[in-house]
Amino acid sequence: MPYQYADSRVVNVALVQMSCTEEKQPNVDKALARIAEAAERGANVVCLQELFAGPYFCQSEDHRWFETAEPIPGPTSQVLADAAKRHGIVLIGSLFERRAPGLYHNTAVVFDVDGSQVGVYRKMHIPDDPLYYEKFYFTPGDLGFRSFQTKFGKIGVCVCWDQWYPEAARLTAMTGAEMIFYPTAIGWLPEEKEEFGPSQHAAWETMMRSHAIANGVFVGAPNRVGREGALQFWGGSFLSDPNGNLLAKAGHENEEILLAKVDLGLVDVVRTHWPFLRDRRIDAYGDITRRYLDQA
């Protein structure tokens, strides 16, 4: 029997996949141009990649990059707010936030169609791996997992490393998110690409598609592309429906605007047919807050 959509709400979603330079303004100008193009092509919701306004500076520990952080609200967030209002879109941007002297976050901001700031999410999981030295720069988020009501649906945002954690997706979905976006900056180490590259990329995509299935939500992941320092960012931005099906997918090499039509009515349909939220054993999950279950 085919699915019946009791609440059909069609939204056009765009993900911006682009390369970045070291200087901020050209990146901001490029992003604004891509936002305008996406809106012209019919996008209602546009999501930019992680830290779109600059290079991925976390490849080394260098204090000079703290000078590029901004408060929120601030100059770059205001530019995004103006773009959202000008084009009548919901816009998600990822910024290096200067919260207070010595306190910085990797932060995503959500703007509604009138340019109002409807939500802020601070990245919760902070990696510390070779060429991803984020703990040097970012304090873990303290706002929890959230979603935000906009004209075009209820939107949840996590950021990059958060995408590996099913707990983050679950808790975001439990706040009512119909779409979860993961602004991302992830790539290959050139010396590892031949042996491990396909597996690494497949794991990344599969993980987020599994979040879509387990939580009955749409998932969008815009990633950067191009070579920066020692990293080759793999692009591969994609949008998944609540069944884990790919609605659109970008390539690994080029800048792209990924555009897809989603019907938010599918969220209720999928959750009704696959009632994972109904069948959760919330009475049995208390140990999830422990680091590890040591058993004698």
pLDDT by residue (tens digit) across 53-69?
A: 999 999 999 999 999 99
288, part of any domain = no
163, part of any domain = yes
Listing DSSP states for 76-127 in one string gives: HHHHHHHHHHHHT-EEEEEEEEEEETTEEEEEEEEE-TTS-EEEEEE-----
Confidence of residue 295 (pLDDT cuts 50, 70, 90): confident
Residue 73 has pLDDT above 70, yes or no: yes
Catalytic residue among 50, 134, 178, 256: 50
Confidence of residue 2 (pLDDT cuts 50, 70, 90): very low
Percent of the chain with pLDDT over 90: 95
What is the reported pLDDT for 168? 98
Confidence of residue 16 (pLDDT cuts 50, 70, 90): very high
Active site residue 123: yes
294, part of any domain = no
286, part of any domain = no
Average pLDDT over residues 163-178: 98
Confidence of residue 8 (pLDDT cuts 50, 70, 90): confident
248, part of any domain = yes
Q: CB–CB of 119/107 below 8 Å?
A: no
User: Residue 170, class by beta-carbon neighbours within 10 Å (0-12 exposed, 13-18 middle, 19+ buried)?
Assistant: middle
Catalytic residue among 30, 160, 178, 256: 160
Confidence of residue 6 (pLDDT cuts 50, 70, 90): low
292, part of any domain = no
- Domain count of the chain? 1
Residue 145 belongs to what domain range? 10-273
CATH number for the domain spanning 16: value is 3.60.110.10
Average pLDDT over residues 85-108: 98
Active site residue 249: no
Active site residue 160: yes
Catalytic residue among 123, 158, 205, 228: 123
27, part of any domain = yes
178, part of any domain = yes
